[in-house]
Amino acid sequence: MRHAREVTFTMLVRAYATASKTETVASNGKAGLKAADIANRLRSEKEKQTNDKNEVPVSPLQTRVNELKQFSQQLQSVHPSVLVKALYRGILYQDQNIIAINKPYGVPLHNVDGIRNSIVECLPLLAKITDGQLHLCHSLEKENTGVLILAKTEEAAEHVQTLIRSHKVERKYLAVTVGVPVPSEGVIDIPIIEKEVTGPQPHFKMGLSPLFKVSEEGDGVTRVRAHRQAHSAVTQYRVLDSTSGCSLVELQPVTGVKNQLRVHMALALTCPILGDHKYANWNKLAPQTDHTRVSHFGLQKLPEGILRRLGLVQSKTRYLPLHLHSRRIVLPGVKGHSDITVSCPLPKYFTNTLKRLQIPLPGKE
């Protein structure tokens, strides 16, 4: 108590001294400091001291999330040659026809939304290092990480693309989901279509276009006509492990529709991918919420249990990266040659999340 009184007395002395100086200035024709101003200053200093004491310590994961955000922003602003060196160091496999690289988080394939650096822009410089032209063989979203196949010739690129279209390429992804998919293993076969979302933030998203609907009586389903603009979309999934309200899921896209894995997980299984701020909330673009808990006021925030496990506060969830990783791609061998299998290790933020959620790390492919 005595210490508190001494602190208060010291603050009053400082305020009085400040007021005296101000009165001297006022006598010279300038505005003076009123008693209310002194009280407000004392109050603000006291509140600042209280806030400093109550400040929540930053967790290691939150620090890593902030570092990842800064790193992805730096990759988008550095000179292309710097990004090319990072891509070259991330080469996973190469032969006379293809190169497989580890695509970093936050780097798009094409220049969009004012982002200067992209994979396509780096291909000419990367090709000089690897001796030959380079062509994209398939898509990988900006927020995705993992295996990306490049071809050294147009013929090789067309060959890989033909294999993908004919469903002869095995692609496996790993994702951390909010919620546990039921059943734990299955196939999602629901077409996807681009839809306009109305509201305070009008925008377009990919959505489901089911071929069946529940009958009016609620005792069965009836088939509906397929929408002309809908795309066939098929995803195989398998829950590898789950705890703390989250799951580690293996995903195998049979088709390649835009945002297919994110849409099927969020809208078909109601288990959005952790860090998916686009499809976890249908009507708006906002930090991720728990899609499985709907109230009359909209979707609730991430469960406190998950936030505690991750060491995050709700205000920082907007910086959670998308936990969707291209883990493995298998290309069928030609002319008697064996299959080409390319695997990619998980990024550090992904493994840190699994550790904090106490989900065992998957074995090496």
- To the nearest whole percent, how much of the chain has pLDDT over 90? 51
> Residue 90 domain-assigned?
yes
In a domain, 164, yes or no: yes
Number of domains in the chain: 1
User: Would residue 244 count as lying in a domain?
Assistant: no
Asked whether the predicted pLDDT for residue 50 surpasses 60, the reply is no
Residue 10 domain-assigned? no
In angstroms, the CA 142 to CA 171 distance is: 18
Q: Which residue type occupies 149?
A: I
φ/ψ region of 335 (left if φ > 0, alpha if ψ in -120 to 50, else beta) reads left
Asked if residue 11 is part of any domain, the answer here is: no
Of 56-65, 149-158, 289-298, where does mean pLDDT reach its minimum? 289-298
The pLDDT value given to residue 20:
41
With vertex at residue 190, the alpha carbon angle to CA 293 and CA 325, rounded to the nearest 5 degrees, is 70
Residue 296 inside a domain? The answer is no
How far is 13 from 11, CA to CA, in rounded Å?
Answer: 5
Identify the pLDDT of residue 29.
Answer: 44
Q: Identify the band that residue 67 occupies on the pLDDT scale cut at 50, 70 and 90.
A: low
Question: 17-31, 280-294, 323-337: lowest mean pLDDT where?
Answer: 17-31
* Mean pLDDT confidence for 289-315: 64
pLDDT computed for residue 27 by the predictor: 43
pLDDT of 24 above 60: no
Read off the tokens for 93: 């496999």
* Average pLDDT, rounded, for the chain: 80
- What pLDDT was estimated at residue 345? 97
When comparing pLDDT for 7 and 251, which is higher? 251
Please count the other Cβ atoms lying within 10 Å of the Cβ belonging to residue 195. Answer: 15
Question: Long-range contacts: 203-207, Cβ < 8 Å, 24+?
Answer: 203/285, 205/259, 205/278, 205/279, 205/282, 206/257, 206/258, 206/259, 206/260, 206/263, 207/263, 207/267, 207/282
pLDDT band at residue 302 using 50, 70 and 90 as cut-offs: confident
Least confident range from 38-42, 151-155, 212-216, 359-363: namely 38-42
Question: Residue range 250-263: average pLDDT?
Answer: 97
pLDDT tens for residues 149-186? 999 999 999 999 999 999 999 999 999 999 999 999 99
Which of 130-144, 160-174, 196-210, 311-325 shows the lowest per-residue confidence on average (mean pLDDT)?
Answer: 196-210
User: Domain limits at 77?
Assistant: 60-169
Task: Tell me what pLDDT residue 244 has.
Answer: 82
Indicate whether 108 belongs to any domain: yes
Tokens of 34: 């009123």
Helices within the chain (DSSP H only): 2-27, 35-54, 60-77, 80-89, 119-130, 154-165, 260-263, 304-310, 348-356
CATH code of 93's domain: 3.30.2350.10
Contacts by residues 8-14 (CB-CB < 8 Å, ≥ 24 positions apart): 11/42, 11/45, 12/42
The pLDDT value recorded for residue 273 is 96
Is pLDDT of 13 > 50? no
Weakest-pLDDT range from 252-256, 273-277, 311-315: 311-315
For residue 295, what pLDDT is reported? 32
Q: What is the pLDDT of residue 204?
A: 82
- pLDDT given for residue 132 in this prediction: 81
Terminal Cα-to-Cα distance of the chain (whole angstroms): 64
Residue 251 lies in a domain: no
Q: Of residues 13 and 39, which shows the higher confidence score?
A: 39
Reported as a pLDDT band with limits 50, 70 and 90, residue 231 is very high
pLDDT above 50 (res 12): no
Out of 73-77, 114-118, 289-293, pick the least confident: 289-293
Say if residues 46 and 10 touch (Cβ distance below 8 Å). Answer: no
Burial class (CB in 10 A: 0-12, 13-18, 19+), 39: exposed
Q: Is the pLDDT of residue 7 over 60?
A: no
CA dist., res. 191 & res. 211, Å (int): 8
pLDDT per residue as tens digits for the range 71-105: 666 666 677 888 999 999 999 999 999 999 999 99
Please check the confidence at residue 297 and state whether its pLDDT lies above 50.
no
